[in-house]
Structure 1
């Protein structure tokens, strides 16, 4: 019945338009199913390190300080493998307790030093563990698009109290009626970035599989990212300046933002090849990274979809892992935030009218300047500011007319095998800020990826249109007419 109706909707449309219209129809049906999902918590507890760990107060770096203070919610989905002890909570809890020994800061709490600066209190108070169940099935989740319903699969905390009142790491195992499970985690962003979160999850899964110790121990020394004495910034750090505001004739809505929504768009290997071919036009021989090309392309698509004025400045923020860039390099095992933003600012009209290669060059230039000297200068610049909380990344950093493109392509997200197989899905459970776009690798390793975008609801259909039109090959464009 559903498929018959879907094909009825597609009658008379070009092939590509049919697929998009059908996908949109099926997604609306899936959303209706997800809206009925109820998650019932059966039990919760605090999991502490299995052995003695240091009790200390850890200084946090400037890169930790500028991060948002909420938990980043990530979701893993696993289908049943027929095992009688599939995702047995006791196995996961014991493995988690053992993993917290080398990762002991994660069992602590946030606090403040005598000057009011955030610090991590390694107190072994533990991480939050939740066991839950739902009458829904994994198939009911549809395309795993982040949103309020998927957020039910990750623990929540009350942020209205003191920062020392909530755990820095949370995990929730939810059993589905079909026998599958989800593992939702929340990692406080002052504590770590995505690289550390992925390292922790993969280490936890190793312990659950019965390993006596984790393969790679975390490096716990945030002083490696201390500013110079005295701090001597050498560059102009536009990435920490306020993002451009929206030029509009529409009266301001004040503190109430326009409604936003999240959609996920699959991009195939062939479509990526089409986009890459466009970057090689006019004799250009520079080999740009997939991220560079996509970030430039998505910036253009968003500017068009938002209907920005020609003279509207727009800022593209890009999250860069500084570990391999620093000299000497920080190891991937560094526990903390080593992610920095690099930014490019342009007029919307220029982005919409210039050849794609020009936009790619803008992005490439912003990425290329992120060398050891620039990163050290950024850390020193932050040290000179009287109040780092004033530039902490929030909604105003990313929202229209600006954009932030974050790649999870190299985090090893699908490697977390707890002994019952690899996840069939891994991605954000929700996206807090409008203007954020995540690039998520395919779990099938077929070269495709998902573009998961949070934009104003009124802009989303236009974004989809511009996204896929630009990914069509010349032959397919001719076939439409």
Structure 2
């Protein structure tokens, strides 16, 4: 385990007075997991004298929080118990640390326990109003590299808005104005009243359980068709090249107009179904997180700050997804159809569906949704455009510092970063991960030294 030495911990507050208000959360802000989304950004030194100067970063952070003031608040509840943001300006946690380790000691930056040390730990045992909504840690390595660990409470922002904040913080540090000011008014996404649901939404129906599962078990461990009981989990990172993606496309049916995303998602779904040894008649559901900013009409204002994530949910039988000799095309077609149906009118009607639900907690996609026989899929937003220091340089590599649940892979693109390849992260049981790798080699790889997922 890498040893981290904390030099200093500071609660950074906005540099100027900010609006004191209770910020109402839309349903989209509430149907997200109740934790801080962890990510870590690694930077190589750029030779500048003020590379990741902590004083510059703290000062810029305080000034950025003036516009992004909900970040400096705390969670609270209204008179009905609904979670809201108390914009009280208490501040965000900024930790400075160092280590004798080097950036290369973290290998391919898989989300391991070592990586979690690069983000401040949040104590959830107290009331929801007790912890900061944003925790940051700058760690200086003996090689001259630096990491920026970010833990951002999911009720406050999704990945798109989170990266908007990090980039704006960087702009302030470099002495330039914030390019896009945050739009802080979530009532634009208020549900229609009275509700007028027009059809059942499959995305919010219960996840398919394992067939023939024990009565007390609705979400059995992964690979349960092969072995009973809990299974250890492991994280695997698979890096993709353009040649490998082209190989995957060549295995689709001729004439099929499938997007690269649909084919890759289908391949993951197919491999996981086989690795889990699901019977052919087992229903399986994929939860795909999609950004609604480009789908909603009328469009949200530029800089809308909050959560705008919807979920596309293709459903199929495992035998259809993993049919021998069928390649990725059948599953890709199901996925592409689901994504296409996730249009502007569908997104709007979901607010009505949620309005009909007395308890939004039941709609939060969590562990029961993505465990065997189901799977979730997310996409990372990449590195910040610059570093939050006045120099603004340094090559960046990034990744999630943890995967919340088994069965929740994430696609990440590292354009112009340390590893200029795409990645897919999977958290699976050890046995299933081995089966998955073997399966991938058999299905799509010409040389056993190159693994595609």
Instruction: Compute the TM-score of the two structures, normalised by the length of structure 1.
Output: 0.86
Hey, what's the Cα distance between the residues in 1 that align with 2:242 and 2:421? 5
Specify the alignment match of 1:79 in structure 2: 44
Shift of 1:453: 0.9
Can you list the C-alpha shifts for 1:85-142, whole angstroms capped at 9, x where unaligned? 2211001111111111111111111100000001111000101111111111111111
1:107, 1:169 within 8 Å by CA — same for their partners in 2?
yes
Residue 6 of structure 1 is matched in structure 2 by none
Q: Distance in 1 between matches of 2:384 and 2:92?
A: 23
How many Å apart are 1:82 and its aligned residue? Answer: 2.4
Q: CA offset at residue 422 of structure 1?
A: 4.1
| Structure 1: segments with no counterpart, 5+ residues | 1-35
- Structure 1 stretch displaced more, 257-266 or 87-96: 257-266
3-state SS of paired residue (1:46): strand
Change in 2 beyond 3 A, CA 1:160/1:455: same
Q: Distance in 1 between matches of 2:386 and 2:342?
A: 30
How far apart in 2 are the matches of 1:329 and 1:170?
Answer: 31
Q: In the alignment, what sits opposite 1:306?
A: 276
Are 1:227 and 2:191 an aligned pair? yes
For residue 254 of structure 1, report the CA deviation from its aligned partner.
8.2
Superposed displacement of residue 44, structure 1: 0.5
The residue aligned with 2:225 is none
1:265 to 238, 246, 265: 238
Distance 1:448 1:273, change over 3 A: farther
Tell me, yes or no, if the aligned pair for 1:76 and 1:423 is still in contact at 8 Å: no
Matched, 1:432 2:432: no
Distance 1:391 1:257, change over 3 A: farther
Structure 1 residue 154 corresponds to structure 2 residue 127: no
Deviation at 1:249, TM superposition (A): 6.8
| Equivalent position of 2:104 in the other structure | 139
> How far is 1:162 from its partner?
0.5
Q: Distance in 2 between matches of 1:229 and 1:38?
A: 54
Answer yes or no: is 1:403 the counterpart of 2:375: yes
The answer as to 2:93 corresponding to 1:93 is no
Question: Does the aligned pair in 1 maintain the 2:383–2:397 contact within 8 Å?
Answer: no
Moved more, 78-87 or 311-320: 78-87
Contact 1:233/1:381 (8 A) holds in 2: yes
Match of 1:327 among 291, 297, 322: 297
- Pairing 1:36-185 to 2, within 5 Å after superposition: 36-185=1-150
Q: Give the equivalent residue in structure 2 for 1:382.
A: 354
User: 1:90 & 1:232 partners in 2: Cα distance?
Assistant: 53
Contact 1:45–1:129 (CA<8 Å) still a contact in 2? yes
Counterpart position of 1:471: 444
Per-residue deviation, residues 27-69 of structure 1 (Å, max 9, x unmatched) = xxxxxxxxx3111212111111111110000110111111111
Aligned-pair CA distance for 1:467: 3.0
Greater percentage in helix: 1
Q: Distance in 1 between matches of 2:301 and 2:90?
A: 28
Which residue of structure 1 aligns with residue 264 of structure 2? 294
**Alpha-carbon distance, 1:355 to partner:** 4.2
How many equivalent pairs are there?
Answer: 434
**Is 1:239 the equivalent of 2:212?**
no
Q: 1:63 to 1:249 in 2, by over 3 A?
A: closer
What secondary structure, in the 3-state scheme, does the structure 2 residue paired with 1:463 have? helix
Matched, 1:204 2:169: yes
Whole-angstrom CA distance in 2 between matches of 1:316 and 1:307: 17
What is the distance in 1 between the residues matched to 2:344 and 2:212? 39
